[in-house]
Amino acid sequence: MMKRNPQQLALNNDDILRQILANFAINSAAKAPTDKMHENIKSSRNILYSAALVSRGFAPPALDLLWQAMSSIKPLVNLLPVAYPGLFQVGGYSVSTNMIFAYQPTSFVSGGI
């Protein structure tokens, strides 16, 4: 059996990875984001996205941080199958994605259903 070095042990520990990646967490608490903040948010998202692609071990903590910082539901709606652009069915009713995007929640609430 091959011995692992300390670096390998640390990078295979989920708790340590989460602590490291938390330094790149996106803080969107400001009411009026500045250009510098937009730059920092974009940079943080790119770093977390890249970390998620590095290895299977990095993906869960990096993706958790990305999902926590979603500022819009637009990426989720884009995953829905649509028969017509901008329109999808919910319970037999046609719903326009424009209606959904007009709704701007102040924050997303996480919790069990």
63 with 90, same domain: the answer is: no
56 with 88, same domain: the answer is: no
Per DSSP, the residues of the chain read -PPPPHHHHHHT-HHHHHHHHHTT------SS--HHHHHHHHHHHHHHHHHHHH-TTTHHHHHHHHHHT---SHHHHTTS--SBTTEEEETTEEEEHHHHHH---S-------
80 with 59, same domain: the answer is: no
44 with 85, same domain: the answer is: no
Contacts of 26 (CB under 8 A, 6+ apart): 41, 44, 45, 48, 65, 66, 68, 69
Query: For residue 48, what pLDDT is reported?
Result: 92
Q: Assess whether pLDDT exceeds 70 at residue 70.
A: yes
60 with 80, same domain: the answer is: no
Query: For residue 55, what pLDDT is reported?
Result: 87
Query: For residue 5, what pLDDT is reported?
Result: 87
pLDDT in tens, 92-106: 666 665 555 554 555
**By percentage, how much of the chain surpasses pLDDT 70?**
63
- 109 lies in which domain range? 72-113
Query: For residue 112, what pLDDT is reported?
Result: 46
17 with 65, same domain: the answer is: yes
56 with 102, same domain: the answer is: no
Whole-angstrom distance, CA of residue 84 vs CA of residue 98: 13
Compute the average pLDDT of residues 47-74: 88
9 with 36, same domain: the answer is: yes
83 with 109, same domain: the answer is: yes
